[in-house]
Structure 1
Amino acid sequence: MNKNTCFHCGLDSTSSKITFDDKPFCCNGCKTVYEIFSTNDLTCYYDLQESPGTTPKEIEGKYNFLENKKIVEQLLEFNDDEIQIINLYIPNVHCSSCIWILENLNKLNASISSSIVNFGKKTVRVTYNTKTFTLKSLVTLLSSIGYEPYISLDDYSIGKKQIDRSLIYKLGVAGFAFGNVMFLSFPEYFQVSGFWIEQYAPVFRWLMFAFSLPVVFYSAQDYFISAYKGLRSKILNIDVPIVLGVLVLFLRSSFEITFNIGTGFFDSLTGLIFFLLLGKFFQQKTYSFLSFERDYKSYFPIGITKINADKKEESVQVYDIKKGDKLLIRNEELIPVDCILIKGKARIDYSFVTGESKTVSKQSGDKLFAGGKQLNGTIEVDVLKSVEQSYLTQLWSNDVFKTNKELAFTNITNSISKRFTIIILTIAIIATSYWLIYDSSKALNVFTSVLIIACPCAIALSAPFTFGNILRILGKKKFYLKNASVIEQLAKINTIIFDKTGTITANKETSINYEGIKLSLKEESLLKSTLRGSNHPLSRSLYNLLSEHNIVSLDAFEEHLGEGIEAQHKEEHIKVGSASFVGYTNDTATLNTTVHVSSNKQYKGKFTFYNAYRKGLSQLFNALKKEYDLVILSGDNSGEKENLTKLLPTKTKLLFNQKPEDKLEYIKYHQSEGAHVLMIGDGLNDAGALAQSNVGIAISENVNVFSPACDAILDASKFNQLFNYIKVSKSAIKIIKWSFLLSFIYNIIGLYFAVTGQLAPVVAAILMPLSSISIVVFTTITTNVLGRNLK
């Protein structure tokens, strides 16, 4: 970099005369950014790219509208007394160094606790402390380092994306130049002699050179930038061999026309870049058209309890919630929408949103935000705005809750691509060396053809297209996966563990009988109000059985997972749960599940549940036993053991009286022995076990037990299809392997013709996107056939 070039952005700094640390800057903005980086030991930013930021614009006063609380409220994703979260669209995000600086904003300002980049959507999700930092400060900071957010004030929405037309412009330039170079090459093709050779050959050749310049230095610049940054980071990416081919073609062609020894390969050069960009454009359009992610989110199955005008409760899906609806939020339930607390005592855990385990107490009239988890009995809320499905899915996939569960299949793809690049470079060098000895006229064509024909783009496409389509298909069949890596994990499992109550039993068909001292109306009312606050399957069944009573607002409520519930209203105290939990010591063994009740420390009696098992349970277990170890882990007593022994295959392990921590330790032990565990539970008592397992599936019966602990949600009506869903996951891996094989076969055939000098570079450039298209077609058709075979 010379003394007249801005150290930060690379523009001319002659007129500014601004220096700092003996480095020139074009404006105070660039100087300020460098000072920030230097102070915070972030100057390695400049090692990642030559001009990382764009020229800072004049931003003083530009964002004064962000001091308006009403506007800020509309823009924020989350807001409480201390923490705000916002998702900003950043059009300038384009490479790994952009991601690096945006995910290190906390080093630029200590008030920023985290920033997570979604590179595909060009968004950054920032969490910051409101006491020392504001949204205006954040946007100003981003703008000052060259990453100005795009904020639309038309409808107070963020991320109303401007169409990126740069690829279209580059494709247009390459196509225009390619057509003209081909036209100028016609006399050479037809070997015209005489007047052409004597007078106009040099002119036409230099015109072809002129047309090639914008193609190489503008249309192909993304390939050069990507290859350069990859090499700086010691990564051999896909673009390295492409850039080598382009450079060899351009330099050799320039050498030939300079010394008048030939016409060069400008037709192959411009054609190569044109067809590469055409293939890239097609891939982007195809991926956008298939729109896997949006389809998958639209099926997200969280339910919630709505209180109608006549005070009756009904379960509805969250995307049916409208502004003004009244909702009932039970203990351990997630708040799906922004709302106002109108009844009950709220103690909210926002760790799902912020990543910080800190509860907040709220009073009637306070605003509650989507993503909070109620931890203190039931509350009633008034909805402020309808749910955003994408927000809930984002919450489910929040990076805060990422574990080391996933070893995504795309990592295998990347490792193959890297090895592939090394192998292809070796083949290209050996083949070129051979032709330099035996026929030097073919050496250049061989080198470039090998590099182009063997580009592993088709390999890189197979996994995302296959997994994306499988996510969409399974979503339509009411099996909702958290992300694509769950598919690979499902294909690896060898042990399946089931909870009993609410998982293999159907709550709606369960019959209940009461034995003991008759409960008074006051005690029944308190019991119903207590059960109303719990999402446990037994609580829900018992709540639905009890007669209608006036619901009372509880003074205290606490749910002890795996044991029971206790609550208090005025002087009345009640306990519901296991015999030991309520203090009953004379419990005798029973063949059925029981729930005991005590009121004011006096034992009242027990409810006996006569379980009804889910339809198709026996057939499902018989299908699974051929390939998997099957286990029932239940928190209930062993009363159902005899019935389950008759119903399930002989090798099924049955373990009873298991507390939540016992289930977790059981899974952890078997994983240490080499087991890949699938856990299926109700999502509440089993949260720890679901998180510990390789894949955790929560059974859903339109009850909001959403939790980041689970990797998938299965609609209860599709329980008997579990084996088929696992088979689809295994088939998806086979499809990817087949697409890898097809890509390798294509590359081997193409390499044969390229190495033997029978393939021109421009033909290779046409074949490369065609191979990618063929992989997309193959994976889409095969996964759709899989989907049609599902019931």
Structure 2
Amino acid sequence: MESKKCFHCGNKCEADTITINEKSFCCNGCKTVYEIFSDNDLTCYYDFQNSPGAIPEEIKGKYDFLTNNDIVEKLIEFNDGNIQVVNMYIPHIHCSSCIWILENLHKLQKNITTSQVNFPKKTVRITYNATNTNLKEVVLLLSSIGYEPYISLEDYEVGKKQVNRSLLYKLGIAGFAYGNVMFLSFPEYFEVSEFWLEQYKSVFRWLMFAFSLPVILYASQDYFVSAYKGIRTKILNIDVPIALGLLVLFIRSTVEIVFNIGTGFFDSLTGLVFFLLLGKFFQQKTYNFLSFERDYKSYFPIAVTQITKDGKEENTQIYNIKKGDRLLIRNQELIPVDGILINGNAQIDYSFVTGEANPVSKKSGDKIFAGGKQLYGSIEMEVLNSVSQSYLTQLWSNDVFQKDKNSTFKTLTDSIGKNFTIAVLSIAFVTTLFWFFYDPSIALNVFTAVLIIACPCAIALAAPFTLGNLLRIFGKRKFYLKNATVIEQLATINSIIFDKTGTLTTNKENNITYDGIALNSEQKSILKSSLRSSNHPLSRMLYTSFKNEENISIDNYHEYIGKGIETSYQQTTLKIGSSSFVQDKSESTNLDTSVHISINDVYKGKFLFKNAYRKDVEPVFSSLKNNYELAVVSGDNEGEKKYLQNFLPSITTLLFNQKPEDKLNYINGLQQQNKKVMMVGDGLNDAGALAQSNVGIALSENINVFSPACDAILDASKFHQITNYIKASKTAIKIIKYCFLLSLSYNVVGLYFAVTGQLKPVIAAILMPLSSISIVLFTTIATNILGRKIK
């Protein structure tokens, strides 16, 4: 009697097979999972891969410890009383079906709002409503569908000890097989008959076959999976010809050995897989290395305002913050660590973490979490834990709030890969058709030879090596990019927009004068304390100018982005900001850069600022004017328009009195004209514009503000290098294209032998690894030379 396989997990069903809807299941557990998916209209799970599931384990009572609040608090990342976020390691994650079902948990449990899978790390980050469910119920749900999490309480972290070493294992197997197959192929290469006796020939060939089996079945499986997914979604990605080439190599070589025709191409097969995996390993190690060397983590935030024991405020490096320290968090600042609220009106936006935009109110004594943004004034907090930089890093690439700029952007590898795939398949079929009529005996050999020699291994290696190395170089030059795709997008830019205040100007040098009715000491204290909560560059400059005034606790604080601040203290109401905001009509036509104030709706005067522009602004604009459309879009008035007209190139568009939404709309308008826009701002009022632009760069000086909408962070001291960074990105794309040309030259030579039916194993064995090695050397040397040109 033919044994049946379980529809859910693929295991062999025994005699007591359970059958539902003409589908067989090996146990009640698998049957139950199938029923759960059926009841919730989630049977698409089985469309991605046959038998993708795992048998759910018996877990009765296993997770009772998750009812202990002390334990739960140590496991979850975030908890505001209503919403909790937990990141769990799921060992069984292995395919697209796993990703699909785990990211659709909200359909199984309505109290789960979002779930995001990190496939390489085998983790799922789940956000759920803690008032209607709890962590235990979430874990039980995962376990019931065959995705039981691994929970380690030893160090209160999830799955950290489960390091994914699969790439290392695959690389080791491919390298071992490649070395041995090459050694066994030497007699065939050089036709050394005295060592290639008939009784050993078949043994050597079958040994090569044996060494190649784990390479094709295990080491190269990622390429077959990727190609399969690409074909299913009707996308010809770069892995399609790679997978096809590997399959043809193996089948043809096996046929040659079985029928004793020749030695096959097992050397090329194992060598190709080895060099492809070597490129992937290099890319992985590069990114791991970059997490230390490019060190963008210190920008989340770059500095923290620490309140010392004697009451002074100091900017402290993020790494130096420890438990027990007291921090000042200003309006719109990111909370960098978990802590206890000491005083202040805490209205915290946790949308970075949870996706929920509604601010959460906290009172003195409440716990507040890293990743929230303080709204409406300043707060003081005591640190509970040192900064978790890896957690803050997640915010930069969290899909909950990230606008997907890459959805319409096609990388160079994808574009060329598709055309390359079509070209290779066309050549293969056309030449096979020709030989079928001319000499049918070699038609099949020609078809397989074309696919073998035209494998795009060099194309697959070019971008990872080039862009990965350039990311590292940029990081050393204090230009921190979110990912390698940003380099490609940077190379396409043809329009650049700059914010003015805090971007073209610097708050390290300023000259402030007051024009108006003198303020008494109490009014100055109210003014200083109001400015203390703001992160606007002008507010920070003005706040710093008050040296001797005492800080007091403001009753109410509200900052209107792009307009000003309104606060109150006892019976005194204060307005600070633009002329129109403080309702002084007589001063509305003044074009100075100024901050106006009114007390109890009585206009008092204004503070005049003499902006100090960065010394490199003029040379930067001069270097960009010939190749880019330039604009300065500012929320300030036109007080310095004439100065900038004389200071900047005449082609520069100058726009003033622009609200944050005006900046965003201006960028959108340019994009409607097919412009590729780069926005450079300070990350304060520019978050929308940074998100809308093709490349958003946040300039960071010493302000504790983090904008997850940006694609890159530029240290203010490297402002003068903007042109060089763009040029380097363009050069990197040229390097990749040169690699493609180099790869094409190898393919042309190889295709000559292939289409004419002359391809021999020794030719493939030389050309394929030679192309891979030369690409790696060329990209490494070229990018290092490029890096030296950036001072």
Is this a same-fold pair by TM over 0.5?
Answer: yes
1:680-759 equivalences under 5 Å are 680-759=680-759
Question: Contact between 1:339 and 1:381, CA under 8 Å: does it hold in 2?
Answer: yes
* CA shift in 2, pair 1:650/1:410, >3 Å: closer
* CA shift in 2, pair 1:722/1:335, >3 Å: same
SS in 1 for 2:264: helix
Query: Which segment is superposed worse, 234-243 or 8-17?
Result: 234-243
Q: Given the alignment, which residue of 279, 283, 286 partners 1:283?
A: 279
Q: Which residue of the partner structure matches residue 379 of structure 1?
A: 379
* CA shift in 2, pair 1:314/1:772, >3 Å: farther
1:509-528 equivalences under 5 Å are 509-528=509-528
* CA shift in 2, pair 1:179/1:588, >3 Å: closer
Provide, for residues 95-152 of structure 1, a one-character-per-residue CA deviation record: whole Å limited to 9, x for no partner.
3333222222222322222222233333322222223333333334334444443433
Residue 331 in structure 1 maps to residue 327 in structure 2: no
* CA shift in 2, pair 1:297/1:74, >3 Å: farther
Shift of 1:563: 1.6
SS in 2 for 1:630: strand
C-alpha separation between the residues in 2 aligned to 1:85 and 1:41? 26
Shift of 1:492: 2.5
Shift of 1:551: 1.5
Question: Contact between 1:492 and 1:676, CA under 8 Å: does it hold in 2?
Answer: yes
SS in 1 for 2:496: strand
C-alpha separation between the residues in 1 aligned to 2:207 and 2:486? 55
SS in 1 for 2:342: strand
Q: Which residue of the partner structure matches residue 313 of structure 2?
A: 313
Shift of 1:698: 2.4
Shift of 1:512: 0.7
Provide, for residues 573-616 of structure 1, a one-character-per-residue CA deviation record: whole Å limited to 9, x for no partner.
21111222222222275563111111222222211111221112
C-alpha separation between the residues in 1 aligned to 2:444 and 2:24? 43
Considering only aligned residues, what root-mean-square deviation do their CA atoms show, in Å? 3.4
* CA shift in 2, pair 1:242/1:268, >3 Å: farther
Shift of 1:24: 1.7
C-alpha separation between the residues in 1 aligned to 2:583 and 2:555? 22
Query: Which segment is superposed worse, 542-551 or 339-348?
Result: 542-551
Residue 294 in structure 1 maps to residue 295 in structure 2: no
1:759-774 equivalences under 5 Å are 759-761=759-761, 764=764, 767-774=767-774
How many residues matched?
784
Q: Which residue of the partner structure matches residue 485 of structure 1?
A: 485
C-alpha separation between the residues in 2 aligned to 1:699 and 1:257? 62
SS in 1 for 2:405: coil
Shift of 1:423: 2.5
Q: Which residue of the partner structure matches residue 270 of structure 2?
A: 274
Residue 164 in structure 1 maps to residue 161 in structure 2: no
Question: Contact between 1:567 and 1:573, CA under 8 Å: does it hold in 2?
Answer: yes
C-alpha separation between the residues in 2 aligned to 1:722 and 1:708? 20
C-alpha separation between the residues in 1 aligned to 2:192 and 2:444? 18
SS in 2 for 1:371: coil
Question: Contact between 1:339 and 1:384, CA under 8 Å: does it hold in 2?
Answer: yes
* CA shift in 2, pair 1:534/1:2, >3 Å: farther
* CA shift in 2, pair 1:294/1:47, >3 Å: same
Q: Which amino acid aligns with 1:274?
A: T
* CA shift in 2, pair 1:57/1:647, >3 Å: same
Q: Which residue of the partner structure matches residue 789 of structure 2?
A: 789
* CA shift in 2, pair 1:207/1:777, >3 Å: closer
Shift of 1:257: 7.6
Q: Which residue of the partner structure matches residue 260 of structure 2?
A: 263
1:119-268 equivalences under 5 Å are 119-160=119-160, 161-165=162-166, 167=170, 171=174, 174=177, 178=181, 190=193, 227-228=227-228, 230-237=230-237, 240-241=240-241, 262-265=259-262, 267-268=263-264
* CA shift in 2, pair 1:208/1:299, >3 Å: closer
C-alpha separation between the residues in 1 aligned to 2:365 and 2:715? 35
1:53-68 equivalences under 5 Å are 53-68=53-68
Shift of 1:539: 0.4
Question: Contact between 1:683 and 1:707, CA under 8 Å: does it hold in 2?
Answer: yes
Q: Which residue of the partner structure matches residue 646 of structure 2?
A: 646
Question: Contact between 2:402 and 2:709, CA under 8 Å: does it hold in 1?
Answer: no
SS in 2 for 1:401: coil
Shift of 1:440: 6.2
C-alpha separation between the residues in 2 aligned to 1:649 and 1:223? 51
Provide, for residues 327-377 of structure 1, a one-character-per-residue CA deviation record: whole Å limited to 9, x for no partner.
110111111111111111101111111112111100111111111111120
Shift of 1:236: 4.5
Q: Which amino acid aligns with 1:299?
A: Y
C-alpha separation between the residues in 2 aligned to 1:187 and 1:675? 58
SS in 2 for 1:513: strand
Query: Which segment is superposed worse, 774-783 or 142-151?
Result: 142-151
* CA shift in 2, pair 1:428/1:657, >3 Å: closer
C-alpha separation between the residues in 1 aligned to 2:725 and 2:207? 60
C-alpha separation between the residues in 2 aligned to 1:151 and 1:765? 48
Q: Which residue of the partner structure matches residue 7 of structure 2?
A: 7
Shift of 1:729: 2.1
C-alpha separation between the residues in 1 aligned to 2:2 and 2:176? 31
* CA shift in 2, pair 1:288/1:203, >3 Å: closer
Shift of 1:627: 1.7
* CA shift in 2, pair 1:747/1:309, >3 Å: farther
C-alpha separation between the residues in 2 aligned to 1:753 and 1:656? 65
Structure 1 gap segments, 5+ residues each: none
Question: Contact between 1:452 and 1:768, CA under 8 Å: does it hold in 2?
Answer: no
C-alpha separation between the residues in 1 aligned to 2:381 and 2:699? 26
Structure 2 gap segments, 5+ residues each: none
Q: Which amino acid aligns with 1:577?
A: G
C-alpha separation between the residues in 2 aligned to 1:126 and 1:715? 34
Q: Which amino acid aligns with 1:285?
A: F
SS in 2 for 1:579: coil
Shift of 1:189: 7.8
C-alpha separation between the residues in 2 aligned to 1:295 and 1:777? 24
Query: Which segment is superposed worse, 236-245 or 485-494?
Result: 236-245
Question: Contact between 2:342 and 2:380, CA under 8 Å: does it hold in 1?
Answer: yes
Provide, for residues 5-54 of structure 1, a one-character-per-residue CA deviation record: whole Å limited to 9, x for no partner.
11111111114432323322112221122112211222222222122123
* CA shift in 2, pair 1:456/1:58, >3 Å: farther
SS in 1 for 2:149: coil
C-alpha separation between the residues in 2 aligned to 1:569 and 1:411? 55
* CA shift in 2, pair 1:532/1:648, >3 Å: same
Question: Contact between 1:317 and 1:702, CA under 8 Å: does it hold in 2?
Answer: no
Q: Which residue of the partner structure matches residue 51 of structure 2?
A: 51
SS in 1 for 2:586: coil
Q: Which residue of the partner structure matches residue 473 of structure 2?
A: 473
Question: Contact between 1:575 and 1:598, CA under 8 Å: does it hold in 2?
Answer: yes
Query: Which segment is superposed worse, 346-355 or 415-424?
Result: 415-424
Q: Which amino acid aligns with 1:167?
A: K
Q: Which residue of the partner structure matches residue 621 of structure 1?
A: 621
Q: Which residue of the partner structure matches residue 26 of structure 1?
A: 26
